[in-house]
Amino acid sequence: MTRTKAELRRELLAARRARTGEQRRADAARLAAGLPAVLEGVANPVCLFVAVGGEPGATPEGGLPVLDAARALGRRVLLPVTVGAAPLDWAEFTGAESLGPGPHGLLEPTGPRLGPGAVTGAGLVVVPALAVDRRGVRLGRGGGHYDRTLPHAGPATRLVALVADDGLLDEDLPAEPHDVPVHAVWRPSSGLTGLSAWRPR
């Protein structure tokens, strides 16, 4: 029996909440260590996000290991800025001091806004997700911000969903006509896995 989006969200969020602080730190360290492989062949800028709560990459201390690793690799990092129901805006991440509180308990960059079109020229967009199926259909938290943003990505932009180790599903997720499939999933223990829409560099 196919699970609904609501059922899947409940199950996956419960699994995230059950992870210990030590497990979350280990996941974040693995993601930071695996970042060079995710960035291989990808041009600047790269669009990442600030992981919070139980999201992969977040730590109990509120550190930013993945973002710091990207900057240490010399990458220009853009982070999303939520603007109501519009596509995401973007601003540059220049360190923890460049972040401030945003809506929904998120942290957002406080620097100059670059506009929704900044995603068009990005080499990579890493998208938060609860799960992804083998076709690249993504299950998010339900806010729709990335659903409105990903259609603006350029033809050369690689779309990667960051999920927990249990977030790649063999069953097909319910798909909507507006869904933009991601090209790969990125998991703490397994690294980068190409999907049906994978475009190798």
User: Per residue of the chain (201 residues), what is the pLDDT tens digit?
Assistant: 567 888 888 999 999 999 999 999 999 999 999 999 999 999 999 999 999 889 999 999 989 999 999 999 999 999 999 988 789 999 999 999 999 988 777 889 999 999 999 999 999 999 999 999 999 999 987 778 899 999 999 999 999 999 999 999 998 888 887 789 999 999 999 999 999 766 655
Q: What is the spatial distance between Cα 36 and Cα 192, in angstroms, rounded to a whole number?
A: 11
Q: What is the pLDDT of residue 201?
A: 52
Residue 53 has what pLDDT? Answer: 87
What gap in Å lies between CA 154 and CA 106, rounded to an integer?
26
Query: Roughly what angle, to the nearest 10 degrees, separates helices 65-72 and 21-39?
Result: 30
Residues in the chain: 201
Quick one: pLDDT at residue 199? 61
Specify the pLDDT at position 5: 81
Q: What is the pTM of this model?
A: 0.93
Give the pLDDT confidence score for residue 102 in this predicted structure.
Answer: 83
Identify the pLDDT of residue 86. Answer: 82
- Of the candidates 106, 127, 129, which has an alpha carbon nearest to the alpha carbon of residue 9? 129
